[in-house]
Amino acid sequence: MLDFSTIRTLQSEAEYQAALKAVRPYFDMEPAEDTPEAAHFDALVLLIEQYESKHYEIPRAAPVDVLKSIMTANNYSRADLIEIVGSKSRAADLLNGRREINLDQIRKISKAWGIPAGALVGEIAA
């Protein structure tokens, strides 16, 4: 039986670095399922993820940056975007940041290119 009184999250950068060092060998030789080593690996990964989400926040990309990245990664052209949004000027305005992507465009782009709609939604201004 586990002693739950001793389980806790990582409390410092030193503990985080130690956890990273301890988990590294598991990536070279992943432990077999349902073994104590597998449980240790899973626990370390959860602790590391929790620490990183708290201390190393990854900023959200701007919708236009997501759009450009998807276009680059999939070799989509401006012509491909024009076909989706309906006009050359709209596509140019979106890519140059002169216009925000509207909900209708988000839906169309998401459906056409398989992008999660949430990736194309920007932060709400306060």
| pLDDT at 126 (0 to 100) | 45
CATH number at residue 81: 1.10.260
Q: What angle do CA 56, 9, 12 make, to 5 degrees?
A: 55
User: How many independent structural domains does the chain possess?
Assistant: 2
Q: Is 86 left (phi over 0), alpha (psi -120 to 50) or beta?
A: left
| pLDDT at 4 (0 to 100) | 76
- Give the span between the Cα atoms of 113 and 80, in whole angstroms: 10
Q: Does 125 fall in a domain?
A: no
| pLDDT at 80 (0 to 100) | 96
| pLDDT at 28 (0 to 100) | 87
Q: Are 91 and 79 in contact (CB under 8 A)?
A: no
* Whether 87 and 113 share a structural domain: yes
| pLDDT at 117 (0 to 100) | 87
pLDDT by 10s per residue, the chain, length 126: 667 788 889 999 999 999 999 999 988 888 899 998 989 999 999 999 999 989 987 777 888 898 999 999 999 999 999 999 999 999 999 999 898 889 999 999 999 998 888 888 866 544
* Whether 48 and 67 share a structural domain: no
Q: Which amino acid is at 60?
A: R
- Give the span between the Cα atoms of 4 and 8, in whole angstroms: 9
* Whether 51 and 35 share a structural domain: yes
Neighbours of 51 (CB within 10 A): 19
| pLDDT at 48 (0 to 100) | 94
* Whether 71 and 110 share a structural domain: yes
Q: Are 26 and 63 in contact (CB under 8 A)?
A: no
Domain of residue 98, residue span? 63-120
| pLDDT at 109 (0 to 100) | 94
* Whether 77 and 110 share a structural domain: yes
